[in-house]
C-alpha cells in the first residue's frame, strides 16, 4: 500500500464501477468492506458517473449484490446534471443522447424526442456512450451545436471497465464533437468541482475530513484532491499502471482494492 497524507476521516465518497463492482458483479471483499464502514458509523455516499441506470435502479442492484446501501446513499451524474440544467437553463428544451434510461433522475428537465433536425433543442445533453451514440444522433447533435445549441455532458470519461475489458465511453465521442463544432462542453459529473461540492453538501462533510475512493486517477482521485478531499486510488476497474505513471499528480493513497480500505490508517480509529 502506498500512502501520502492522512487525516482524521469523517466521511467517505465511493465510486461504483470498477471500485465496488465490474459489470455489476461485486469485487472480492467489497461488500464486507462497506459493512465495516457502516458498522463504524462513517457517513458515505456512492458518487458515480454511471448514466445507464437511475439512482433507484443502482441502489436495488447493489443491495441484491450484498452492499448495505439505499437510494439516498447514491449521487449520480444524471441527478447532478438535472440540478445544473434547472439552475442554468431553466425551461430549456434538451436533447438527451444517452444509452440507458435515467429519466427518473431528470426531474424538472424538458426533454425533446428524436434526432431530427427540426427538433431545435436549446441544449444538447450527452450521457453515457453505447448504442445511442450512432452516426445519426451524433450528426444531429453536431448540426444543432452549429446553430447555437449549448453542449452539456454528464462526464467525459474515455473508457470504462466491463467484464469483457475496456469499452469506449462518452469522452471518446465528445472530444471529436467539440473540435468539429468548435464548442466546449459544460461537464457536470466528475471531475467537475460542482459534483464534489454537491456530494459534500449531501453528507454535510468537510473536504479536509473526507476520502474519495476511485479507480480513475484523473476524474476520481486527483479531481477530488484539487478541492481538498483526500484521494484514494484503487488498482481495480479501469486502473492502468501507464495512466498512473503519466498522471498530472500523485494520489494521497494507493490501495490494491476497496477491500483494503478499512485498514487505511486513521479511517476506523475515529470510532474507538
Mention every residue, 6+ apart, whose C-beta is less than 8 A from residue 95. Answer: 111, 112, 115, 119, 121, 123, 124, 125, 140, 141, 144, 149
- Fold of the 11-49+191-263 domain: Rossmann fold (3.40.50)
- Note whether 11-49+191-263 and 88-187 share their fold: yes
> Measured over all CA atoms, what is the biggest interatomic distance in the chain, rounded to whole angstroms?
63
pLDDT tens digits for range 73-91? 999 999 999 999 999 999 9
The pLDDT score that the predictor gives to residue 271 is 45
pLDDT at 269 exceeding the cut of 80 = no
Which of the residue ranges 1-15, 93-107, 231-245 would you say has the lowest mean pLDDT?
1-15
Nearest Cα neighbor of 94 from 78, 75, 72 is 78
pLDDT tens-digit readout, 171-207: 999 999 999 999 999 999 999 999 999 999 999 999 9
pLDDT at residue 59 in the model: 96
pLDDT exceeds 90 at position 120: no
Q: Domain residue spans in the chain?
A: 11-49+191-263, 88-187
CATH architecture of the domain covering 88-187: 3-Layer(aba) Sandwich (3.40)
In tens, the pLDDT along 224-253 reads 999 999 999 999 999 999 999 999 999 999
127-158 residues labelled b (16+ CB within 10 A) or e (exposed): bbbbebbeeebbebbeebbeeebbbbbbbbbb
Indicate the average pLDDT of the chain: 92
Q: Which residues contact 272 (CB under 8 A, 6 or more apart)?
A: none
Q: How far apart are CA 214 and CA 104, in angstroms?
A: 26
Q: How confident is the model at residue 65 (pLDDT cuts 50, 70, 90)?
A: very high
Least Cα distance to 44 among 3, 5, 72 occurs for: 72
Q: Is the pLDDT of residue 148 over 80?
A: yes
CA nearest neighbour of 188 among 82, 47, 89: 82
Distances (CA, A) of 67 to 33, 34, 36, 230, 233: 9, 7, 11, 23, 20
Residue 17 dihedral angles phi and psi, to the nearest 5°: -60, 125
User: What pTM did the predictor assign?
Assistant: 0.83
Amino acid at each position: 500500500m502506498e500512502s501520502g497524507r492522512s487525516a482524521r476521516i469523517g466521511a467517505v465518497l465511493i465510486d461504483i464501477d470498477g471500485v465496488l463492482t465490474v459489470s455489476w458483479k461485486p469485487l472480492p471483499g467489497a461488500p464486507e468492506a462497506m459493512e465495516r464502514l457502516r458498522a463504524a458509523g462513517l457517513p458515505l455516499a456512492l458518487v458515480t458517473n454511471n448514466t445507464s441506470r437511475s439512482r433507484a435502479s443502482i441502489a436495488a442492484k447493489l443491495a441484491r449484490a450484498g452492499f448495505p446501501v439505499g437510494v439516498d446513499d447514491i449521487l449520480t451524474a444524471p441527478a447532478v446534471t438535472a440540478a445544473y440544467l434547472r439552475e442554468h437553463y431553466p425551461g430549456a428544451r434538451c436533447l438527451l443522447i444517452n444509452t440507458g434510461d435515467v429519466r427518473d433522475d431528470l426531474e424538472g428537465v424538458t426533454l425533446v424526442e428524436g434526432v431530427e433536425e427540426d427538433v431545435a433543442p436549446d441544449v444538447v445533453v450527452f450521457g453515457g456512450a453505447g448504442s445511442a451514440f450512432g452516426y445519426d444522433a451524433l450528426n444531429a447533435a453536431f448540426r444543432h451545436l452549429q446553430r447555437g445549441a449549448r453542449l452539456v455532458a454528464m462526464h467525459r470519461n474515455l473508457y470504462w471497465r466491463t467484464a469483457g475489458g475496456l469499452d469506449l465511453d462518452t469522452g471518446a465521442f465528445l472530444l471529436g464533437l467539440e473540435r468539429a463544432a468548435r464548442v466546449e462542453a459544460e461537464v457536470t459529473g466528475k471531475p467537475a468541482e460542482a459534483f464534489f461540492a454537491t456530494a459534500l453538501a449531501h453528507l454535510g462533510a468537510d473536504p479536509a475530513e473526507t476520502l474519495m475512493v476511485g479507480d480513475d486517477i484523473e476524474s476520481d482521485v486527483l479531481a477530488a484532491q484539487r478541492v481538498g478531499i483526500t484521494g484514494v486510488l484503487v488498482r481495480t476497474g479501469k486502473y492502468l499502471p501507464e495512466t498512473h505513471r503519466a498522471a498530472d499528480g500523485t494520489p494521497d493513497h494507493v490501495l490494491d482494492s476497496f477491500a483494503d480500505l478499512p485498514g487505511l490508517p486513521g479511517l476506523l480509529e475515529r470510532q474507538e
